Every structure is written in structure tokens, then in C-alpha cells.
Structure 1
Amino acid sequence: MEGKKLQQRADQRTQELPGVELTFPFGEGWGVYKVRGKVFMLHTEVTGEPIVILKATPADASTLRDAHQDITPGYHMNKRHWITLHPGGDLDGPSIDDLVTESYLLVVEKLPKKQRPVDPDLFGKVEL
């Protein structure tokens, strides 16, 4: 996905997730997305390109980095638990949506049950 479209797609997905707030604690150059006060996504262009930074399990982060040249360790974050999405690679819109959702759910599942805006075990699953 190209340039700003990467950030726009990720931002659109956050708008569909309950309890998300966008803050700018580091200035206008850093969008920080939180659920119940906990960070699950950041975006910036301080690297010279529009990037999106997401939480991931260490195993998923490693697999994603191996499979996609446009996914690298988290910029200015714990390299085992965060990934950076770069524009211009083979990531499509649905893949970005899935990565944003997974990052969100990783944070939600660590919240006390009373604070969770969704049940992370059931969110997005359709009953037949």
C-alpha cells in the first residue's frame, strides 16, 4: 500500500473499534491510538515516510517480518513486541485491518475485565 493510504487505512480500522481514542502526546507528528489509556497503534512520518507501528506477539512479529519486506521491528518500541508497517510493499487493506485489530485485541485482553470494551475471545467472531 502506498504512502498516506497505509496510515489512512489503519486509521479507518481504528474508528470501527470500540473505546479507541487518538492522542498526540508527542506533538502533531505522532498519532497515538489508545484503548482505555493503553497504546496499541502509533503513526508518524518522522522517518521520512508514513509508517504505522503496531503491537504483535513475538512469534507473530518474527513471522510477519520474515514474510513481508515492508514489516520491520517496531520503530522506537520494543523490537520483540512491536512491528512497523512501511508503505510500498505487498500489504493489502484487509491485511492492514487484521494487523490493527490484532494489536487492539492484544491490549484489550490485558485490561481488567470490567474495563474491556469488547470480549477479546469473541470479538469479530460470527455465530452460525
Structure 2
Amino acid sequence: MDGKKLQEFAAARAEELPGAELTHPFGPDWEVFKVRNRVFMLLTPVTGDPIVVLKATPSDGQALRDEYEDITPGYHMNKEHWITLSPGGSIDRALVEDVVTDSYLLVVEKLPKAKQPVDPSNFGKRDL
């Protein structure tokens, strides 16, 4: 997947999430998505390629880095709690949408219950 598509898919998914907002606190080269003023995703081309930086649990982040060559530790972020998605052939749209949603939910679950725009324990789950 090329970098432009990678960022387009990530931004489109973030814009669907309740309470998500796009900000530019670090200037025009950084698109920062927040929920209730807490960052869950960053998009930037400053590395030379358009990348997506997302929050992940340490175990999920490690598993993703082990499985996908285009997922590395978070660029300019805590390497244990953030991952970077880079352009390449190992990432598809479904994975991008899943990790964006997971990052969002990690942030939401740390918010006080009264500020959570969704219930993180059952968001997106359907009755089977």
C-alpha cells in the first residue's frame, strides 16, 4: 500500500469514530487525531514517506511488529506504547482500520466514564 492510501484509510476510519477530532498542534506537517483532547493517531510525511503513528498495548505492538515488516516502533513516541505504520506491501486496509480503532479504544478506556464517547468494552461488537 502506498503512503497516501495508508494515511487516507487511517484518516477515514478515525473520522468515523465518535468524538474524534483532527487537530494540527505541531504545524501543517502533522495531522493529529484526538478523542476528548487525548491523542490516538498522528499522520505525517516528515520521515520522507507518509506514515501513521498509533497507540498500542505493549504486547499487541510487539506482535504486530513481529508479523508485519511495515510496522515499527512509534516514530518520536514511546517505543513500547506506540507503533508506526509505513508504506509497503504487508499492510492492508482492514488492518489499518483495526489498529486505528484499537488505538482509539485504548485512549477512550483511560478517560473518566462520564467523558467516554463510547463504551470501550463493547464498541463495535455485534450480537451473534
Bin of the TM-score, shorter chain as denominator length: over 0.9
Give me the TM-score of the superposition, normalised by structure 2: 0.98
Cα offset, 1:89, TM superposition: 2.6
Query: Deviations 1:82-119 (Å, cap 9, x if unpaired)?
Result: 00000113111011000000000000000000000000
Q: Please give the secondary structure, in 2, of the residue aligned with 1:120.
A: coil
- Aligned runs of 1:45-124 on 2, under 5 Å? 45-124=45-124
> 1:5, 1:104 → 2: CA distance?
20
Q: Please give the secondary structure, in 1, of the residue aligned with 2:99.
A: helix
In structure 2, runs of 5+ residues without a counterpart are: none
RMSD, aligned α-carbons: 0.6
Please tell me whether the aligned partners of residues 68 and 89 of structure 1 are also in contact (alpha carbons under 8 angstroms): no
> 2:93, 2:47 → 1: CA distance?
22
> 2:14, 2:41 → 1: CA distance?
9
Q: Please give the secondary structure, in 2, of the residue aligned with 1:109.
A: helix
Cα offset, 1:3, TM superposition: 1.8
Structure 2 residue aligned with 1:13: 13
Q: Please give the secondary structure, in 1, of the residue aligned with 2:5.
A: helix
> 2:20, 2:110 → 1: CA distance?
15
Give me the TM-score of the superposition, normalised by structure 1: 0.98
Letter in 1 for 2:87: P
4+ residue runs of structure 1 moved beyond 4 angstroms?
none
